Amino acid sequence: NIDPLADLRLGYLDLFLIHWPVAFKYVDFDPSVRGWPNEDIDDSDDGANIDPTVSLRDTWTAMESLVEKGLVKHIGVANFPV
C-alpha cells in the first residue's frame, strides 16, 4: 500500500505544486525501492511519455479535491507560461 503522507510521517502537505503543465504516463515501480538509478523516469522522451488524455483542468480539479479532503493546504503551479 503506497501512502506518501504516512511515508513522510505527515498528516498533510502545506504546498503542492504542478511543476510542468503536462501529465506524464503512469510508470510502474517497485515501492520498496527508493529513488531511481537515473533521471529517465521524468524524461518526456520528446513527448512520447506525455499523456494527452489528462488535461490541465483534470489535474487541477484533482488537486482541488486534495485540498477539500484536507490532505493539502495550498496548491499552485511553477514553470507555466503566462
Residue bearing the bigger pLDDT, 52 or 28: 52
Q: The pTM is what?
A: 0.73
DSSP assignment of 23-82 equals PBPP----TTS-S-SSSGGG--TTTTTB-TTS-HHHHHHHHHHHHHTTSEEEEEE-S---
The larger pLDDT score, comparing residue 61 to residue 33, is at: 61
C-alpha cell at 19: 511543476
Q: What are phi and psi of 81, to 5 degrees?
A: -70, 145
pLDDT tens digits for range 34-56: 666 665 555 667 788 889 999 99
23 vs 8, 46, 48, 70, 75, CA distance in Å? 24, 14, 11, 23, 16
